[in-house]
Structure 1
Amino acid sequence: MNLHEWRDRPSTVSFGPASWQSRALGVLTALTLRPVLGLLTVLGLLINRIWPAGLQRAHLDLIDRPLRLIRPLPGTVVTEQRLPHCPAEWVVAPAARGSDRVIIYFHGSALVTLGLNSHRRFASKLSEATAAQVLNVGYRLAPQASIDEAVEDGLDAYRHALALGFEPGRIVLAGDSAGGLIAADTALAVRDAGLTVPAGQVLLSALTSADMDLKYRALRDHKDVLFPFMTVKFIYDVFATVNGTREVPTMPAESNSAGLGPFLLQVGTNEMLRNDTFVLADQLAAAGVPVWVQVWDKAMHMFQLSFDVNPDARRAVAEIASFVAHVTSEASAAA
């Protein structure tokens, strides 16, 4: 794609019809993972009623340990890093070696789980597709840490990239699900700290609003094949707010994003965070921030991670690569 074509694109584009692989993944997820999440949520509600303090000490990120068996793409070099309060790693595909372009990536987590292992292969795919070095950030998770502390980790990652000599106009912040929240909030934190903002942001199936009604209304139109509504509400009520004792910071959809670089927002039709994306897009446009929304037919939450078997996911990654090339070239030209 010609880089200038992004300027002429409509603000919202629908992609479809869905591939049979994307549809099959949705059905398989609805039949397997969704019931398990529902059962775990009921169990969590019971434990929270009997022993809430014990639940707050749970380390749900333990599930990430066996996921180290998921390998990055062949030829990818992974180098461990240590930020002030959390682990991170450089994930560099052969096409990105020596690149001056960086993607700082925040993994999806529902705020409480997964980590570097779960998203290393996707990070390597992003590095391959964009020819950018990827800094994969293992930000702190709830219930032990607050959203503010996770954003502090994001700001530390950005400062780390700057300290290594990377230019702001060659850096893109990206994340999926709750990681999209951390990416957007990190961009705001960078601006508020008086630093030069990154070239742009890529948010995939991102959580951007604390309004549960937005999610409930989305479910009335299309069933989420991964998350029952009670699971998302449980995570918010029990872990994000610590049973109402911790105030959740202002979310990106309710913030003033003036001064930030462009956003690419990708979301599937079959997920409850769909309305979060649209509300954030409206807020960005009102603040004068360029924003493009891509809606993928029948796509489930974080469908991009299925790129190995799903042609829709590979096309979405190609769109991300085109956007990253556009915003980093535009920022460099402006500088």
Structure 2
Amino acid sequence: MSWQNALVRWYLRNSFLPATREPIDVARVRAHTAKRVWTPSPPGGFRLREQYDAADAPLRGEWLLREAGATRTVLYLHGGGYYFCSPKSHRTITFGLAPRAKADVFSLDYRLAPEHPFPAALDDALAAYRCMLAAGRRAESIVIAGDSAGGGLALATLVALRDAGDRLPAGAVLFSAWTDLACTGASLRENDGRDPMFTGEVFARVAPLYLGGASATNPHASPLHASLHGLPPLFMLAGSTEVLLDDTRRVAERARAAGVHVECEIARGLPHIWPIYAPFMPEARRALDDAARFVQRVTVEADVPGPQSSATSIAS
């Protein structure tokens, strides 16, 4: 364990964890997160294109574009329990992944709960992916990625695309994915007190914010409960002490049983979505290295057009 990991775990245990025992205050959490966001500079050889106007939908969010041109694309879905965080809060991941994978990365600013409950986030992810295809980006050159709730959303997007008969992307990268909003994993109890970031019971309080009136076992909200046959390759990471560990472990087991190629690492003693601590934490840098290699392995290189306005993309 690196000293950087030890420091992050100490900070989370003393700062973040106590807050998960308190009643959920959506406005306070959002304001706190927005104030604490550290924004790295775009990596060399890339330019940032922000498009946060309502007219930018379905590609509302931000592009990180490779100036030399890219042959692959990552559609990134940020975490935050479906009710907070943004593409800006997760730039350490997207800005770290893009140069490693030599890919354009689009980070989606999907609608948040509770104002926009399920299936709003899923509808936004589906619309963004379909818009990319309509604009000329090939499915075989796209990987969908996400962390925590965004990881569950990425997997749910794959399931929904398959169910609708759409062309599937080349694969998915899932960091500490929350895949079971019914909160049935044994690790919620077994790792309660070991996870430096979350109590085991907090997810049962967060889930209704997103679900609204939907069933917690709806496969498009909780993809753990979906049939996973026919999905593209999955790259999954989770820490051994996470309360959400079983949300990754069970998906990996069920996906493999369904014939899906799965690369899954359970890393000892690393916190929830540790890739977000790049470049500070060496384990985070290695995780992004591994994820980028997966993106390069599963994608078919293809000429991809630059991002267009949503109106042009839909019309093309």
Q: TM range, normalised to the smaller chain?
A: 0.7 to 0.9
C-alpha distance in 2, partners of 1:140/1:125? 24
- Alignment match, 1:88: 61
Aligned counterpart for 1:290 among listed residues 250, 255, 261: 261
Matched, 1:77 2:50: no
**CA deviation string 1:189-224 (max 9, x = no partner):** 22222221000000000001124231423425x611
- Alignment match, 1:13: none
- Alignment match, 1:164: 135
C-alpha distance in 2, partners of 1:168/1:307? 28
- Equivalent AA in structure 1 for residue 287 of structure 2: A
* Cα distance change on mapping 1:118 and 1:93 into 2, 3 Å: farther
SS in 1 for 2:80: coil
* Cα distance change on mapping 1:138 and 1:64 into 2, 3 Å: farther
- Alignment match, 2:149: 178
Shift of residue 64 of structure 1? 5.1
- Alignment match, 1:21: 4
SS in 1 for 2:266: strand
- After the TM superposition, which residues 299-310 of structure 1 pair with which residues of structure 2 at under 5 Å, given as runs? 299-310=270-281
Shift of residue 152 of structure 1? 0.7
C-alpha distance in 2, partners of 1:130/1:293? 19
Question: Is the 8 Å Cα contact of residues 202 and 264 (structure 1) preserved in structure 2?
Answer: yes
- Alignment match, 2:305: none
SS in 1 for 2:201: helix
Instruction: State the TM-score, normalized to the length of structure 2.
Output: 0.85
- Equivalent AA in structure 1 for residue 277 of structure 2: S
**Structure with the larger helix share:** 1
- Alignment match, 1:100: 71
% identical aligned pairs: 30
C-alpha distance in 2, partners of 1:20/1:121? 19
Shift of residue 85 of structure 1? 5.7
**CA deviation string 1:1-44 (max 9, x = no partner):** xxxxxxxxxxxxxxxxx222212211221011111332xx23x4
Shift of residue 65 of structure 1? 4.1
C-alpha distance in 1, partners of 2:56/2:165? 20
| TM-align CA RMSD | 2.3
SS in 2 for 1:233: helix
Question: Is the 8 Å Cα contact of residues 218 and 275 (structure 1) preserved in structure 2?
Answer: no
Shift of residue 83 of structure 1? 4.9
Aligned residue pairs, count? 294
Q: Which moved more, 1:63-72 or 1:135-144?
A: 63-72
- After the TM superposition, which residues 305-324 of structure 1 pair with which residues of structure 2 at under 5 Å, given as runs? 305-324=276-295
- Equivalent AA in structure 2 for residue 124 of structure 1: F
C-alpha distance in 2, partners of 1:186/1:241? 16
- Equivalent AA in structure 2 for residue 73 of structure 1: P
C-alpha distance in 1, partners of 2:56/2:77? 14
C-alpha distance in 1, partners of 2:170/2:28? 34
**CA deviation string 1:145-177 (max 9, x = no partner):** 123110111111111211221111100000000
Matched, 1:36 2:25: no
Which stretches in structure 1 are left out of the alignment for 5+ residues?
Answer: 1-17, 48-54
- Alignment match, 2:191: 219
Matched, 1:142 2:113: yes
Aligned counterpart for 1:240 among listed residues 206, 210, 225: 210
**CA deviation string 1:114-136 (max 9, x = no partner):** 10210123211110110000010
SS in 2 for 1:212: coil
Which stretches in structure 2 are left out of the alignment for 5+ residues?
Answer: 303-316
C-alpha distance in 1, partners of 2:133/2:28? 32
Question: Is the 8 Å Cα contact of residues 201 and 262 (structure 1) preserved in structure 2?
Answer: yes
* Cα distance change on mapping 1:230 and 1:317 into 2, 3 Å: same
C-alpha distance in 2, partners of 1:133/1:25? 29
Shift of residue 179 of structure 1? 0.2
Shift of residue 321 of structure 1? 0.9
SS in 1 for 2:74: strand
- Equivalent AA in structure 1 for residue 103 of structure 2: A
C-alpha distance in 2, partners of 1:174/1:275? 19
